[in-house]
Structure 1
Amino acid sequence: MVKINELMLVTAYALLSLVLTGCSANLVTTTNKKTQLINEETGRFQNLDAGEKSYPLTCKQDCYKPRSDIQCGSDGLCQYTGNKKAFLGGTDFSVKWLGHAAFVIKTSSGETFLTDPVFNDFDWPVNWLFSLVGGEQRKVNVEPDPELIDATDAVLYSHIHYDHFNKSDIETIGRKPGYLVPLNLADHFPSIGANITELGWFSSKKIGDSLVTAVPAHHFSSRTLVPFIYEDNNKDSWNAWLIENKGKTLLFAGDTGYSEHFKVINKRYGDIDVCLLPIASYYSEESPEWYRYVHMTPEDALAAAADLNCKVFIPWGYGNASWGLGDLSSHSALTRFLNMAEKVGTSAEIVILNEGESL
């Protein structure tokens, strides 16, 4: 009888646990694994254009020549003060830059997307370790806006690195919006009852009247050791995101090095109306070639914009709300970018934003 009572107790406990935790379990859908490249020896994800690289252009002189249109105050905060050009995207897309890789993107049909939100700092323990080794912290934090979160239809994550993916922020955002992520990323989510869709490259999901497609980036994946020991685990994939709405396109490139994948995207989806391309975190005295392999220099971003035939080009990754991960200063990447853009030219309309600005 004792054994029967114990069995009943264990069963009841298990059912109670299921009731209590079932409502918080995430719903995960995985789409199109077959389009991803897997290394046959390691069984891990790899880039579309892996191997040694040659780059169209490298800045070697006057890269960081001071500019009058970038002003820094005594508090160390810098701002771009140049003229704002008209946004050729018109009413097709509304774009607000929160800082680093976080954008609020609104379509003309009303869908709202949020990319790579990291509102304050890295998840523990990396935020603590980062402060111990003297890493440059954000000068300005990005605070979560309840109204923005409530209006968000989908959160798009590009990859698992700490400056792009924060578990505590997912708990803040909650389960109201959907989450679109690269393959295997759902395993890292806290159990909040989130609706998560893992998308392999070239697979899509309809959000309202918008079609969101996962496209390649040239990067890597590692959660445990980044940013201190760059061991390329690649157990989880990495994506860029293409949003199509009423015949117009917007590309959020995620963290990426320059490679042939930009030409592949253009060949498959045509010229891109709005390009959100990273220009920072390419600098490292210890390992300059490795840094550039997975992060574009400003001139690499100009080459990528040409490959994509971008109509509007909004750079990101620099700024007061970014971290000093491989950069000389908060606005050194923007300084180099503007100097190189003036030197080599571009057919795209360049739109420079400060954190919190929108067009």
Structure 2
Amino acid sequence: MTSTISRTGTNLAQRAASTLTTAGLTTANAVTGGLARRGLPAARALGAETAEIRRHTASSPRLRDGMFHNAEQSEPAVDADFRVLLDMIRRPGRPRGPIPVLRPDFADQAGALRATWLGHASVLVELDGMRILTDPVFSQRCSPARAVGPARMHAAPAGVADLPPIDVVLISHDHYDHLDMPTVVDLAARQPGARFVAPIGVGAHLVSWGIAADRIDQLDWWDDQVLSFGHGDLTFTCTPARHFSGRSLTRNLTQWASWVVSGPAHSFFFSGDTGFSEQFDEVGMRLGGVDLTLVAVGAYDPVWPDVHVNPEEAVRVHRMVTRDRVGDAVMIPIHWGTFNLARHSWGDPIARLLPAADENAATVMVPQPGGAIDLVTRSGTGLQDPMWWEVCA
């Protein structure tokens, strides 16, 4: 998609945002924190207050002036251009027809390397007999309130009660379309054996929602954590991403991240939300080629180029983290088709992704929501119609 939109409005908004005082932000957080303590669900969904988050992040060497920053210079994702707002109101990302959704059929035993796409950035990965669930969002809206905010364009393929036993819930950052309070609270209750692995600071939100601190592991960029389960050890490496964080007025109090998860025999990369970064080349060099990548391909826009990759950049990220294994590794596109978060058309991410993958000798498999792919046999459900998305685009 091309655009002739001026950044004048965006730059004005950025300058206006930068004039917000620390006192004003503190007051706003105090108000929402007070509402949360009174039990208002929307206020509670905002998560931990600033002071509590800072108790969790105080040891991070990556804090600067009390906030986290990208390694590369990025323009803040603040947007007040009236034409952009009009474009979003027109909802260009709506599909033309119903999105086909499959109901997953989870096996009793986790496989060697299998991935079930549950919509947006939610993927259930079976890795060497263990199960990792990424950024679970099963609510109707990605918002602190149930009546406003981006709504799902297809039903959730499964609910929390339908999931098999989960070993780890893996979180990339604290935005509402990646960290959904009702979903993670329900998961914590129904999956008492599941651990939560998140970037540093995000654990403060989880604790504020009643999840026990001893179930939470928080990592900073390039930290490792080894967790042991019945089928072996899983190593979680918190790797860089180019994005931002925040659930209210105050931004970047918590870290954002991508992840590499390694089991005894297989490994995968999870991008979370990210703009393009040369740091992914370092991920590939440090951690070797992975077998599977889950890379965001949607919600890109010329107005915010630094915080969401476009499809062509997503293929470059895949190549970087798989390195010399790019011919064998498989990329599953995520972060598209579920919520209308940008101005591109519904099917544009895949229409652009597949030619870019062909040009770069990258293997891409696109399951329907609820579809599962066995990466060992290269087969699965939701792949019978190889161009299923075209009826919606």
State the TM-score, normalizing by the size of structure 1. 0.70
- Contact map agreement 1:49 1:261 (CA 8 A) in 2: no
1:38: which partner in 2?
63
Q: What is the CA-CA distance between 1:51 and the residue it aligns to?
A: 4.7
Output the CA distance in 2 between the equivalents of 1:234 and 1:105: 28
2:139: which partner in 1?
120
Q: What is the CA-CA distance between 1:327 and the residue it aligns to?
A: 4.1
Output the CA distance in 2 between the equivalents of 1:136 and 1:306: 32
1:221: which partner in 2?
245
Q: What is the CA-CA distance between 1:325 and the residue it aligns to?
A: 0.3
CA change 1:32–1:43 in 2 (3 A) is: closer
Asked if residue 166 in structure 1 is aligned to residue 177 in structure 2, the reply is no
Output the CA distance in 1 between the equivalents of 2:360 and 2:275: 19
Q: What is the CA-CA distance between 1:255 and the residue it aligns to?
A: 0.5
Can you list the C-alpha shifts for 1:25-72, whole angstroms capped at 9, x where unaligned? xxx9979954x5323xx32101133358xxxxxxxxxxxxxxxxxxx9
In the alignment, which of 365, 376, 380 is matched to residue 351 of structure 1? 365
AA of the residue aligned to 1:339: P
Asked if residue 77 in structure 1 is aligned to residue 91 in structure 2, the reply is no
Output the CA distance in 1 between the equivalents of 2:342 and 2:160: 29
Can you list the C-alpha shifts for 1:311-343, whole angstroms capped at 9, x where unaligned? 211111122xx111014233221122123334x
CA change 1:340–1:267 in 2 (3 A) is: closer
2:154: which partner in 1?
139
Asked if residue 155 in structure 1 is aligned to residue 177 in structure 2, the reply is no
2:339: which partner in 1?
323
Can you list the C-alpha shifts for 1:129-164, whole angstroms capped at 9, x where unaligned? 32xxxx56423234314252x510110010000001
Asked if residue 47 in structure 1 is aligned to residue 63 in structure 2, the reply is no
Output the CA distance in 2 between the equivalents of 1:252 and 1:147: 23
Q: How many residues are aligned here? A: 279
- Contact map agreement 1:31 1:199 (CA 8 A) in 2: no
Secondary structure of the 2:216 match is strand
Q: What is the CA-CA distance between 1:173 and the residue it aligns to?
A: 0.7
CA change 1:329–1:137 in 2 (3 A) is: farther
1:188-337, aligned counterparts within 5 Å?
Answer: 188-189=205-206, 190-193=209-212, 195-207=215-227, 208=229, 209=232, 210-224=234-248, 233-283=251-301, 288-289=302-303, 291-308=304-321, 309=323, 310=326, 311-319=329-337, 322-337=338-353
- Contact map agreement 1:243 1:251 (CA 8 A) in 2: yes
- Contact map agreement 1:103 1:116 (CA 8 A) in 2: yes
State the TM-score, normalizing by the size of structure 2. 0.65
CA change 1:166–1:74 in 2 (3 A) is: closer
Output the CA distance in 2 between the equivalents of 1:198 and 1:158: 11
Name which structure has the greater RCO, CA cutoff 8 Å, separation 6+.
1
CA change 1:50–1:120 in 2 (3 A) is: same
Over aligned residue pairs, what C-alpha RMSD do you find? 2.8
AA of the residue aligned to 2:253: K
- Contact map agreement 1:275 1:305 (CA 8 A) in 2: yes
Q: What is the CA-CA distance between 1:183 and the residue it aligns to?
A: 0.8
Output the CA distance in 2 between the equivalents of 1:267 and 1:144: 38
Output the CA distance in 2 between the equivalents of 1:346 and 1:164: 29
CA change 1:125–1:273 in 2 (3 A) is: closer
- Contact map agreement 1:318 1:333 (CA 8 A) in 2: yes
Q: Percent identity?
A: 27
Gaps of 5+ in 1: 1-27, 53-71, 80-90, 226-230
